[in-house]
């Protein structure tokens, strides 16, 4: 499999999706930059684009090298109600950083908005749409390639966001931070999907709040809702990079581990390869991640779907798919693990009987006493 070559004339997001191309989104910014010391937890605003532009640029580059072909502007919570006087500078800088990195590869720039702080308290449609429109004016001036309304827990506010973004006459994607139970007012995933498409979104799906497997369940419900209504749209999924099977309706923000003790829940690269394949089999063609999705997770998506895409990302030059690079290790029992790479997705769930010869070889080299299963 060849590595991605020099950038060609770029196709638009709908041109790519209409042709069946797999589009890989980017991953975690807020959680990752908080860990790196550039974002403050709680507010979760994106002023790092002006305070520490090199840090944001570096993360964009890591996602590009990992296989992302969408650079989403780091404009989460960058509306006037959350950032006051800084909002315009932040949105402008975020567009410039995303474009600079996108131009280094075959990537598009997506201008992103999210739910406001006003809806829960006021539900003032005119005022909320004005906030969206202010950000949209910056995105239009910077000529982003398409627009994303993401992280909405209320279907009505998401619809308002789509209606505003459509004013720019650019493709619009809309993702909600909901699980199988639907939005905070009981609107089902299928109904949410229908509302978003009728509002004008060409791409719909879910992002954040829930892990890969729960998010795929929600995507299936959205797909069924569209089918029942006789509607069509491209599907998009960008879940958490954490395992969250015990989440309630509100998602991971309601867990006691949020946000500083989530590390034990991190998905492995193997988990993400399986997620990417299942998303693809479901018919999703825009596949990425949200909080907790590190660059190596995005690389796992790109490697799993390399046969469909026809190339590997640049960072795969330093990575053997499914652990094949371990064949160069100095320890023979670790080298033996590279044999599992030939088994692909079955490697992480190989039954004990098939592992026994390799475990025996490891014990022999380390002079370990075998452990019988009835002693465990």
What residues form the annotated binding site for Zn(2+)? Answer: 208, 290-291
Using the CB atoms, write b or e for 257-279: b if 16+ within 10 Å: ebbeebeebebebbbbbbbbbbb
How would you list the strands of the sheet with 108-114, edge to edge? 23-24, 286-287, 234-238, 203-207, 172-176, 146-152, 108-114, 70-72
Rounded Cα distance between 108 and 298, Å, is 16
H or E stretch covering 222? helix 212-229
CA dihedral 118, 121, 122, 126 (to 10 degrees): 20
CA dihedral 28, 36, 50, 165 (to 10 degrees): 10
Q: How many Å separate Cα 297 from the centre of its chain?
A: 9
Rounded Cα distance between 187 and 94, Å, is 33
C-alpha separations of 270 from 265, 267, 289, 299 in Å: 14, 8, 15, 11
Name the binding residues: 208, 290-291
Give SS3 for 286: strand
Task: Answer for the pair 144, 170: CB distance below 8 angstroms, yes or no.
Answer: yes
Omega before 110 within 30 of 0, i.e. cis:
no
For residue 353, give every residue at least 6 positions away whose Cβ sits within 8 Å of its Cβ, in sequence order, or none.
none
Among 286, 150, 124, 274, smallest CA distance to 212 is for 274
């Amino acid at each position: 499999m060849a590595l991605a070559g020099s950038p060609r004339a770029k196709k638009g997001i709908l041109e790519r999706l209409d042709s069946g191309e797999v589009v890989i989104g980017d991953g975690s910014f807020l959680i990752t930059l908080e860990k790196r010391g550039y974002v403050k937890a709680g507010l979760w605003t994106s002023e790092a684009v002006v305070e520490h532009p090199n840090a944001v640029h570096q993360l964009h580059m890591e996602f590009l090298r990992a296989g992302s072909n969408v650079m989403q502007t780091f404009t989460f919570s960058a509306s006037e109600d959350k950032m006051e006087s800084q909002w315009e500078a932040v949105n402008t800088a975020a567009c410039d950083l995303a474009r600079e990195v996108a131009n280094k590869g075959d990537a598009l720039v997506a201008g992103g908005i999210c739910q406001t702080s006003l809806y829960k308290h006021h539900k003032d449609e005119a005022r909320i749409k004005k906030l969206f429109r202010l950000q949209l004016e910056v995105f239009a001036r910077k000529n982003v390639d398409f627009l994303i309304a993401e992280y909405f827990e209320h279907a009505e506010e998401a619809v308002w966001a789509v209606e505003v973004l459509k004013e720019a006459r650019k493709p619009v994607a809309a993702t909600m931070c909901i699980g199988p139970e639907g939005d905070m007012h009981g609107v089902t995933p299928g109904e949410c999907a229908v509302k978003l498409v009728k509002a004008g979104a060409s791409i719909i799906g879910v992002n954040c709040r829930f892990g890969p497997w729960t998010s795929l369940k929600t995507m299936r419900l959205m797909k069924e809702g569209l089918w029942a209504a006789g509607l069509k749209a491209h599907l998009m999924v960008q879940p958490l990079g954490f395992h969250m099977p015990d989440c309630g309706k509100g998602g991971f923000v309601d867990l006691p581990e949020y946000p500083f003790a989530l590390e034990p829940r991190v998905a492995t690269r193997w988990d993400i390869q399986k997620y990417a394949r299942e998303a693809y089999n479901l018919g999703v063609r825009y596949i990425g991640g949200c909080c907790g999705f590190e660059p190596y997770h995005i690389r796992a998506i790109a490697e799993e779907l390399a046969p469909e895409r026809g190339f590997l990302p640049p960072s795969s030059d330093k990575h053997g798919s499914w652990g094949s690079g371990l064949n160069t290790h100095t320890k023979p029992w670790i080298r033996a693990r590279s044999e599992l790479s030939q088994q692909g997705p079955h490697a992480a769930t190989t039954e004990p009987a098939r592992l026994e010869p390799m475990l025996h070889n490891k014990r022999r080299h380390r002079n370990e006493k075998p452990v019988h299963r009835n002693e465990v």
